[in-house]
């Protein structure tokens, strides 16, 4: 597949622009990136990106139809959307080998996912999210009060909307209508003062899901039928600002969805799937609770998920199966921190209990962990060693550790070098087996713990006219648990002896004009089985994202986006692949009536490709929306 001229222009123009950008602008340690809006309440047209040695943050995300669109703007993040608007949405980061390899949290409260399938981001209403953060696997060494559970793919943290500033409306509202007879609405309210702030809202969607596409096999225009979905979710967060800079916050999130699973083009089905998800959590941070330099922190979370399917499975018409799985995950963490001018010490204990009930039986797992971190500043260098010991009720105990070195020559530049050893456990379902439609996954109690040895180098540079971020990493993975077919109707997870993963990322922004913002991102990744040389599934060698946003007036703007995903293998045999895919998005935003209207065309050139074998990308789609009090203002 050839790359369109638009993508070539945007990618090369943005990334090459750093070499010629003005480097003589005044230096300010507070400047993360400029804002092209020169007046209060001006339209925020482009995403605001900030970089640190172990994090990339998208603040004030622009008008996206669903959360998966924003996640796809993170460097090297592959978003997997199985069947259009409202369907299961998971992510695979550049360092992860699967969707379960990345941890997820909301306002730093862990989303406890016990099944091992990865978090479904379609549950979360994007209109209530103010920023998306992607932290590297070494982020706990930068913020030891965060979730310390190892994750080779790092952690994605969703920040909810903050209390309104002076002159901003406390109301939250959005309406989006578009392709596949889809509609999503969100209503909410936020507020606060010096002692407290809060946000609450509900969001619902309905789609007939009958989107048009061009069949990659035949080239003909078709309609994706039997793809209906309806969902409802609600979120509430309350935060108290206590004495001595202490904070306590509580969060409640609930979601329910019911959709029809159309299956693949080669094996269509009419299964219905019902998903229920609930997260209850709280966290406390008292940096000076025990004295000027000593504090305590704690957090707790309970996650509940249920997935039930009924009706014909893949390729069946009159017969079928019914499955029902429920999982509960409990997480608790408590720790102590000591800080002075140049050093800090943190010690934390954590516990997670997972319970899973499927048609095959009841499975549970209990783990305890202890983490110690020291941070020492020596001139312009910071050294952060981390050690962790973890005990598991199913697998042998593990010991992890990392060492990070950060060099900051001035307020505008950071360089980080890190090495670490971490682990991940096979999913409970991989050990005990399960049934999904017409496929039986056989149990394998002999699976081993996956071990990751990761080395990472990154840098970031911040200037008023441009910002740039780059990283490189190598991960040697031992005992990778991989899905393998045994027959046409059965499969099991097996361990590969060792897998290598190498990746490079370059991401940045350029502001050649006050009203023009350019962004480009390129990630090269290769993951392969060291024994056979076969590439690992769902890891594209090349991913690219680029955008050009132009503010025509203070209230009207236009944006062109390009997203490229390279060829991917869909099994570890090194044979079956899906072709590259490039999507062009055109968006027009206009500020009016106290909010923002937007018109968007997705897959502008109606490109034909498969997301998964037999699961086509949606064709050209038209979307119209209005947001009030969200991140676009």
Measured from the Cβ of residue 12, the count of other Cβ atoms closer than 10 Å reads 13
Question: Over 60: is that where the pLDDT of 2 sits?
Answer: no
**484 band by pLDDT with thresholds 50, 70 and 90:** confident
Q: What is the spatial distance between Cα 135 and Cα 406, in angstroms, rounded to a whole number? A: 15
pLDDT surpasses 50 at 158: yes
What's the DSSP call for residue 181? T
Q: From the centroid of its chain, how far is CA 476?
A: 23
Contact (CB, 8 A) for 82 and 611: yes
What is the pTM (predicted TM-score) of this model? 0.86
Segment 4-62, tens digit of pLDDT: 434 433 433 443 444 334 343 333 334 343 443 333 456 778 888 899 888 899 887 76
In degrees, rounded to 5, the angle at the alpha carbon of residue 38 between the alpha carbons of residues 32 and 43 is 90
Cα end-to-end distance, the chain, whole Å? 38
Percent above pLDDT 70 for the chain: 85
- Residue 332's closest CA among 286, 279, 369? 369
pLDDT band for 120, please (50, 70, 90 cuts).
confident
307-345 pLDDT, tens per residue? Answer: 888 776 554 544 556 778 888 999 999 999 999 888 999
Residue 112's pLDDT is what? 83
CA dist 605 and 614 (Å) reads 21
Three-state SS letters, 316-354: CCCCCCCEEEEEEEEEEEEEEEEECCCEEEEEEEEEEEE
Instruction: Band the pLDDT of 144: cuts 50, 70, 90.
Output: low
Q: Quick count: other Cβ atoms within 10 Å of Cβ 38? A: 10
pLDDT the model gives residue 321:
61
With beta carbons less than 8 A apart as the criterion, state whether 67 and 129 touch: yes
Note the pLDDT of residue 571. Answer: 67
Tell me the three state secondary structure of residue 127.
helix
pLDDT at 101: 82
């Amino acid at each position: 597949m050839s790359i369109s001229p638009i993508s070539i222009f945007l990618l090369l123009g943005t990334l090459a622009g750093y070499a010629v950008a003005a480097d003589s602008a005044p230096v300010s340690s507070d400047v993360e990136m400029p804002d092209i809006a020169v007046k209060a309440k001006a339209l925020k047209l482009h995403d605001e990106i900030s970089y640190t040695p172990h994090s990339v943050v998208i603040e004030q995300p622009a008008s996206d139809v669903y959360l998966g669109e924003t996640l796809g703007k993170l460097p090297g993040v592959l978003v997997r959307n199985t069947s259009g608007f409202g369907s299961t949405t998971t992510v695979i980061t550049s360092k992860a080998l699967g969707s379960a390899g990345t941890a997820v949290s909301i306002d730093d409260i862990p989303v406890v996912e016990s099944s091992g399938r990865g978090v479904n981001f379609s549950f979360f209403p994007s209109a209530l999210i103010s920023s998306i953060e992607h932290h590297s696997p070494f982020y706990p060494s930068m913020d030891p009060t965060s979730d310390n559970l190892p994750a080779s793919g790092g952690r994605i943290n969703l920040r909810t909307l903050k209390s309104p500033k002076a002159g901003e409306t406390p109301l939250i509202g959005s309406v989006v209508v578009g392709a596949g007879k889809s509609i999503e609405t969100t209503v909410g309210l936020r507020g606060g003062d010096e002692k407290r702030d809060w946000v609450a809202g509900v969001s619902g969607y309905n789609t007939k899901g009958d989107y048009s596409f061009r069949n990659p096999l035949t080239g003909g225009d078709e309609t994706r039928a039997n793809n209906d979905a309806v969902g409802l979710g609600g979120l509430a967060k309350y935060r108290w600002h206590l004495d001595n800079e202490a904070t306590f916050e509580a969060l409640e999130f609930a979601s329910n969805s019911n959709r029809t699973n159309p299956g693949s083009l080669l094996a269509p089905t009419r299964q219905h799937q019902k998903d229920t998800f609930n997260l209850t959590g709280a966290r406390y941070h008292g940096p000076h609770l025990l004295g000027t330099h000593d504090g305590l922190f704690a957090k707790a979370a309970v996650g509940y998920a249920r997935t039930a399917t009924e009706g014909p499975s893949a390729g069946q018409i009159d017969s079928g199966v019914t499955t029902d799985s429920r999982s509960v995950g409990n997480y608790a963490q408590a720790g102590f921190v000591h800080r002075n001018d140049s050093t800090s010490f943190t010690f934390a204990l954590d516990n997670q209990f997972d319970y899973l009930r499927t048609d095959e039986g009841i499975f549970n797992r209990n783990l305890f962990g202890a983490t110690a971190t020291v941070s020492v500043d020596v001139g312009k260098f910071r050294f952060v060693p981390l050690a962790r010991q973890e005990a598991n009720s199913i697998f042998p105990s593990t010991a992890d550790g990392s060492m990070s070195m950060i060099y900051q020559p001035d307020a505008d530049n950071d360089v980080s070098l890190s090495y670490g050893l971490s682990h991940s456990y096979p999913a409970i379902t991989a050990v005990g087996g399960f049934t999904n439609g017409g496929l039986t996954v056989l149990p394998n109690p002999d699976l081993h713990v996956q071990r990751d040895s990761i080395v990472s180098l990154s840098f970031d540079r911040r200037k008023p006219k441009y910002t740039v971020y780059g990283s490189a990493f190598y991960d040697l993975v031992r005992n990778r648990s991989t899905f393998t077919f045994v027959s046409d109707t059965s499969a099991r997870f097996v361990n590969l002896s060792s897998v290598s993963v190498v990746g490079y990322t370059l991401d940045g922004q350029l502001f050649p004009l006050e009203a023009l913002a350019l962004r480009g991102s390129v990630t090269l990744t290769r993951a392969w089985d060291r024994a056979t040389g076969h590439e690992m599934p769902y890891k594209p060698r090349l991913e690219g994202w680029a955008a050009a946003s132009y503010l025509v007036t203070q209230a009207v703007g236009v944006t062109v986006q390009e997203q490229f995903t390279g060829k991917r293998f869909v099994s570890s045999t090194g044979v079956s692949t899906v072709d590259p895919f490039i999507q062009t998005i055109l968006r027009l935003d206009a500020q009016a009536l106290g909010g923002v209207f937007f018109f968007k065309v997705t897959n502008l050139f109606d490109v034909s490709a498969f997301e998964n074998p037999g699961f086509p990308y949606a064709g050209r789609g038209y979307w119209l929306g209005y947001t009030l009090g969200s991140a676009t203002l």
